[in-house]
Homo-oligomer: A and B are copies of this chain.
Amino acid sequence: MQTKAELTKQFILETVAPIFNQNGYAATSMSDITQATGLTKGAIYGNFKNKEELAISAFKFTVKALMKRIARHLELSDSPIQKLFLISDFYRNYYDYSKQLGGCPVLNIGVDANNQNTPLLENVKIVIEKIQDQVATIIENGIEAGEISTEINAMQYAKRLDTMIQGAVFMTYTMDDEFYMKDTMNQIDQMIHNELKA
Contact = CB atoms under 8 A, between A and B. Distances in A.
Contacts of A121: 174
Contact of A110 (B114, B125, B170): B170
Q: How large is the interface on A (under 10, 10 to 19, 20 to 34, 35 or more residues)?
A: 35 or more
A152 to B, nearest CB: 13
A111 to B, nearest CB: 4
A160 B174 contact: no
Contact of A174 (B110, B173, B175): B110
Contact of A164 (B24, B107, B125, B167): B167
A97 interface: no
A167 B174 contact: no
Given A26-B27, A125-B174, 19 more contacts: A24-B26, A27-B27, A110-B170, A111-B111, A111-B173, A111-B174, A114-B173, A128-B171, A128-B175, A156-B183, A160-B183, A160-B184, A162-B171, A163-B167, A164-B164, A166-B170, A167-B168, A167-B170, A170-B170
30 contacts: A22-B115, A22-B116, A24-B27, A24-B112, A24-B116, A26-B26, A26-B27, A27-B116, A103-B114, A106-B174, A108-B114, A110-B170, A111-B111, A111-B170, A111-B174, A112-B112, A114-B174, A125-B174, A125-B175, A128-B175, A159-B183, A160-B187, A163-B167, A163-B168, A163-B170, A163-B180, A165-B167, A166-B167, A166-B171, A167-B167
